Copies of this chain bind each other. A is one copy, B any other.
Amino acid sequence: MGESAVNCTIAVDTMGGDKGPTEFIRGLFYAIEELKLECNFVLVGNKRLIERLLTVGKLDAYQDRIKVIHSTQVIGMNEKPIQAIKSKKDSSMVQAIAQLKNNEADAVVSCGNTGALMACGTLRLRQIAGVDRPALGIIVPSKQGPFVLTDVGANPESTAEHLVHNAVLGSNYAKAALNLTHPRVALLTIGTEEGKGTALTNQTHTQLQKINGVINYVGPIEGFQLFDGEVDVVVCDGFVGNIVLKSSEALFGFISTTLREALVRNVKRKIGAVLSKSAFKDMKTRLGPDQHAGAPLLGLKGNILKAHGSSNFVAIANALRIAQEVVTHDMIDSIGSEINQCNALNTHCEEENASN
């Protein structure tokens, strides 16, 4: 493989996802030509098919940066995770993660089965020392800059310690992917007054105050503040985060559909809609999920990014871009160091409380 301008190689599970390898190759082209990614790529999947698609997709010019690894199996979107990764050792997903494990790649991007990706990632790479459970982080647009929401589904039954770790993981992801130096971290709860919320959020709030300094904890926020853009990281458990994320995507779709229906109800509105069409496109570009499509499995000893199963080429390209960002920012080393500091601070406080 030739040298890339940045010292980074991304392994791609080319066969995962609803749209198949064709969309992945289009995404790769877009990533290189439009987003100017400068890293190397290892494409895992059906070698003959991928090589043909590379030629059709006019990527021959970049062949010194692209390596293809043949794999014979594909994990389906509805297969049971553990069973799938055990029975399909030569699947594109398992082989892509093997590339990462063997230091042939610095990150993996997959649109495949989330459960299988998490299971395989956790089994092969293990957690960073001090992290109990990994968390899925995602970038969400707001009235101001975008923010990181974490966890969005990896760990639905969280303890306060897990949520504190989510805060550290999310803060580091915001540093890498949003290029921030001191991301403002908030805890999602109901009623921000002292004593409101649940036992879990109150305990987490106390622990987060203790590690302020390691991360920049700015306090609790409520649902109505979520899209204000006043904070850069919003921490919650995987149950709440998954429901907020998915219901928000659903609501965006519902509002768009309702408006579209209203706009074709008479001729005057139709003409208006045609004239202002580009505004709707702007809105979709700004709020749609394509710009921030890679959700990393934060807390593992390796960068694995999950993109939506139905990702189009723009979403795939952006997932590749985010993969390059987290690698070049050494996110994993940074997480390891901060988790250690946080665990020490909270253990120290517990010991102090116990001895008093």
Contact indicator B254/A251 (Cβ below 8 Å): no
- Please encode chain A, from 266 to 309, with 1 for each CB lying within 8 Å of some chain B CB and 0 for all others: 00110111111111101100110000000000000000000000
Closest partner residue, chain B, to A197 (CB atom): B156
The answer to whether A55 has its CB under 8 Å from any CB of chain B is no
With an 8 Å Cβ cutoff, the count of chain A residues facing the other chain is 58
A253 CB contacts on chain B under 8 angstroms: 227
Residue of B190, B250, B263, B283 touching A227 (CB-CB under 8 A) = B250
Contact indicator A240/B242 (Cβ below 8 Å): no
Contact indicator B262/A279 (Cβ below 8 Å): yes
The answer to whether A351 has its CB under 8 Å from any CB of chain B is no
Contact indicator B227/A251 (Cβ below 8 Å): yes
Give bound CA distance, A287 to B257, whole Å: 12
Majority SS at the chain A contact face:
helix
19 A-B contacts (beta carbon < 8 Å):
A142-B254, A143-B258, A190-B238, A190-B242, A222-B243, A223-B246, A223-B247, A224-B246, A226-B250, A227-B247, A227-B253, A227-B254, A228-B250, A239-B240, A247-B247, A259-B279, A263-B276, A271-B275, A272-B276
Closest partner residue, chain B, to A286 (CB atom): B258
A227 CB contacts on chain B under 8 angstroms: 247, 250-251, 253-254
The answer to whether A62 has its CB under 8 Å from any CB of chain B is no
Residue of B223, B225, B228, B268 touching A242 (CB-CB under 8 A) = B223
Contact indicator B246/A248 (Cβ below 8 Å): no
A265 CB contacts on chain B under 8 angstroms: 279, 282
Chain A to chain B: the 4 pairs with minimum beta-carbon distance, closest first: A272-B275, A272-B276, A223-B246, A262-B279
Contact indicator A269/B258 (Cβ below 8 Å): no
A249 CB contacts on chain B under 8 angstroms: 223-224
Q: A227-B253, A262-B283, A276-B276 are in contact. List 7 more A-B contacts (CB 8 A).
A: A223-B246, A227-B247, A244-B244, A258-B283, A258-B287, A259-B283, A272-B277
Contact indicator A251/B248 (Cβ below 8 Å): yes
Closest partner residue, chain B, to A271 (CB atom): B275
Contact indicator B283/A255 (Cβ below 8 Å): yes
Copy number in the complex reads 2
Most chain B beta-carbon contacts within 10 A, residue among A189, A227, A252, A276: A276
- Please encode chain A, from 218 to 243, with 1 for each CB lying within 8 Å of some chain B CB and 0 for all others: 00001111111000000010111011
Give bound CA distance, A249 to B222, whole Å: 12
Give bound CA distance, A272 to B274, whole Å: 7
The answer to whether A354 has its CB under 8 Å from any CB of chain B is no
The answer to whether A199 has its CB under 8 Å from any CB of chain B is yes
The answer to whether A198 has its CB under 8 Å from any CB of chain B is yes
The answer to whether A27 has its CB under 8 Å from any CB of chain B is no
Give bound CA distance, A282 to B269, whole Å: 12
Give bound CA distance, A246 to B240, whole Å: 13
Q: Which of A137-195 contact B (CB under 8 A)?
A: 142-143, 153, 156-157, 188-190
Contact indicator A223/B239 (Cβ below 8 Å): no
Contact indicator A198/B239 (Cβ below 8 Å): yes
A258 CB contacts on chain B under 8 angstroms: 143, 283, 286-287
A190 CB contacts on chain B under 8 angstroms: 153, 156, 238-239, 242-243, 246
